[in-house]
């Protein structure tokens, strides 16, 4: 991921590196200035002392300004990078079949990317800055005393290997946080979706206990991760103090032996503090970067995958039959649903019935490739008997809970394709939406307000029915798609839909005998 980040904008990367190098050089020169400044003070040379103090202030301030510029550009590039990353992840989820869990997608697009930003990319900026400071500082120390530099390098190597003692544990803890966060979002989604029902039956205690039980896993994982992070920081800070003490002791002995000046001691104290403090940062940041390695790899793997792109999808224009063969679905609790072998011909209008729990809605999701069967298969064939890899976008689906989007009613019928506006108006009439438009001043141009919920359940169902017909779906799967619509309107809607050439499979429980007679046949599922 780090390589792809720097490749994402070569201009920003170049300016970032140049600014960091210039800034590091200026800061190092400012620290070096303490040697001649202190020696001037010792020799009572006021003019020279003041001059060097000015040099120290100017170079140090200039260095920090350049480092600030580098940090600003890095942050700007990082935000652009994550913007593109979210676009690629969204494209991945859009193309994926079956569709991933909503909680997993939410976790990936929010929490996981924040973890990578905070614990992987942000530390990279600090590591580059620290490494540049270390290189210039080491060079200046070399001009003072070769053996002193050797001592610093030996201590530096020891400090660099310290994160390995805890990095694996920290990586495991970070992955646990991501996993538990995803589970927590999933729990919130499942329970808060029925908040109104819980309020009606005063089930606050159950809601609180369910959320608390789920959040406890996230809380424990976060505490463990933070504990490992603190342990790593404490280890490196302790090593930092020991290393600085050793270097100052060695420098002091060289001064006492008249091999270095007292001014050099001041600069070495400055440089040793800078070098080992930066090493603490580097070791801590490297440990942080390593902790996100598997998480970052999984994100990069997702955006590189092109789901379903390797196999061409076949149009359902010449579709002839849809059949199931030995279809079985087994749930994690061991419960099985076994389906009879079914064959439905193109253009047939089929009423699918059966008791609750016989898998009617689940069958639709398997036809749509949203759920994979445990055994058996669903086969689409054309008129020549060729097995098709269906283009699922040509299968219309009206679920029990219709999904609408922010936009106008017209947008929701056409799915934001303005070329279909005329057809939308026509099918709005056929699914009995015209009477509903009388309640809205803007008619079909009325904006859907998801917050205020300005559409009834029946109106939403009519919109989805119109959407399916506007797109000339070759197969239409309707799951209780008129349950919230009155019987008079339902009968008229059925007549309009069933006279179309599309294959229709309809799940319903509340149809009158007259409505049932509109279908070619009935398939009843049983346990």
What's the pLDDT score for residue 478? 92
Which residues, in sequence order, are CB contacts of 56 under 8 Å at separation 6+?
A: 30, 33, 34, 37
Instruction: Let me know: does 247 contact 214? Beta carbons within 8 Å.
Output: no
Whole-model pTM: value is 0.58
What is the average pLDDT across 408-415?
90
| Structure confidence at residue 341 as a pLDDT band (50, 70, 90) | very high
What is the average pLDDT across 178-207?
74
Nearest to 431 by CA among 492, 501, 478, 516: 492
Q: What stretches of 257-320 show up as alpha helix (H) in DSSP?
A: 262-291, 293-304
Instruction: Let me know: does 316 contact 390? Beta carbons within 8 Å.
Output: yes
What's the pLDDT score for residue 54? 93
Give the tens place of pLDDT for each residue, 354-370. Answer: 888 889 999 999 999 88
What are the structural domains, with CATH classification, of the chain? 2-304 (1.20.1560.10), 314-527 (3.40.50.300)
Which residues, in sequence order, are CB contacts of 198 under 8 Å at separation 6+?
A: 191, 204, 206, 207
Instruction: Let me know: does 358 contact 526? Beta carbons within 8 Å.
Output: yes
Helix axes 421-430, 487-498, angle to 10 degrees: 130
Give the tens place of pLDDT for each residue, 93-108. Answer: 777 666 666 777 777 7
- In angstroms, the CA 333 to CA 315 distance is 37
Give the tens place of pLDDT for each residue, 13-70. Answer: 899 889 989 998 898 888 888 888 888 888 888 898 899 899 989 998 998 899 889 8
């Amino acid at each position: 991921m780090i390589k792809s980040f720097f490749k994402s904008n070569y201009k920003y990367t170049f300016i970032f590196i140049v600014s960091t190098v210039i800034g590091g050089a200026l800061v190092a020169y400012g620290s070096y200035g303490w040697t001649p400044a202190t020696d001037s003070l010792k020799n009572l040379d006021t003019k020279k002392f003041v001059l060097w103090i000015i040099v120290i202030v100017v170079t140090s301030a200039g260095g920090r300004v350049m480092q600030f510029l580098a940090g600003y550009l890095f942050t700007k590039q990082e935000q652009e990078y994550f913007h593109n990353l979210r676009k690629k992840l969204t494209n991945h989820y859009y193309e994926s079949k079956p569709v991933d869990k909503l909680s997993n997608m939410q976790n990936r697009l929010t929490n996981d990317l924040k973890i990578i930003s905070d614990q992987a990319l942000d530390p990279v900026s600090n590591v580059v800055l620290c490494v540049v400071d270390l290189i210039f500082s080491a060079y200046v120390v070399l001009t003072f005393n070769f053996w002193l530099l050797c001592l610093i390098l030996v201590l530096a190597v020891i400090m660099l290997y310290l994160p390995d003692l805890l990095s694996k544990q920290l990586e495991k803890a970070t992955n646990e946080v991501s996993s538990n966060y995803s589970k927590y979002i999933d729990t919130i989604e499942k329970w808060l979706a029925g908040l109104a029902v819980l309020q009606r039956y005063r089930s606050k205690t159950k809601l609180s206990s369910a959320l608390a039980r789920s959040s406890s896993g996230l809380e424990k994982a976060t505490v463990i991760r933070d504990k490992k992070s603190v342990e790593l920081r404490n280890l490196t800070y302790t090593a930092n103090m020991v290393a600085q003490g050793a270097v100052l002791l060695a420098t002091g002995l060289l001064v006492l032996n008249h091999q270095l000046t007292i001014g050099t001691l001041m600069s070495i104290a400055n440089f040793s503090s800078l070098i080992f403090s930066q090493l603490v940062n580097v070791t801590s940041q490297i440990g942080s970067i390593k902790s996100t390695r598997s998480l970052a790899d999984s994100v990069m793997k997702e955006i590189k995958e092109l789901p379903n792109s390797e196999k061409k999808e076949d149009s359902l224009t010449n579709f002839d039959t849809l059949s199931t063969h030995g279809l079985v679905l087994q749930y994690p609790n061991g419960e099985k649903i076994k389906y009879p072998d079914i064959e439905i011909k193109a253009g047939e209008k089929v009423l699918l019935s059966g008791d609750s729990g016989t898998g009617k809605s689940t069958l639709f999701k398997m036809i749509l490739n949203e759920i994979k069967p445990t055994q058996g298969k669903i086969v689409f064939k054309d008129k020549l008997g060729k097995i098709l890899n269906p283009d699922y976008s040509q299968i219309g689906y009206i679920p029990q809970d219709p999904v609408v989007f922010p936009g106008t009613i017209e947008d929701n019928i056409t799915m934001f394709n303005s070329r279909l506006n005329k057809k939308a108006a026509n099918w709005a009439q056929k699914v009995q939406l015209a009477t509903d438009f009388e309640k809205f001043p803007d008619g079909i141009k009325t904006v859907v307000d998801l917050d205020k919920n300005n559409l009834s359940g029946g109106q939403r169902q009519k919109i989805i029915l119109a959407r399916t017909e506007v797109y000339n779906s070759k197969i239409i799967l309707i799951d209780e798609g008129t349950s919230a619509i009155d019987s008079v309107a339902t009968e008229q809607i059925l007549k309009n839909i069933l006279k179309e050439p599309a294959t229709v499979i309809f799940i319903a429980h509340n149809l009158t005998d007259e409505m049932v007679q509109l279908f070619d046949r009935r398939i009843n599922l049983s346990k």
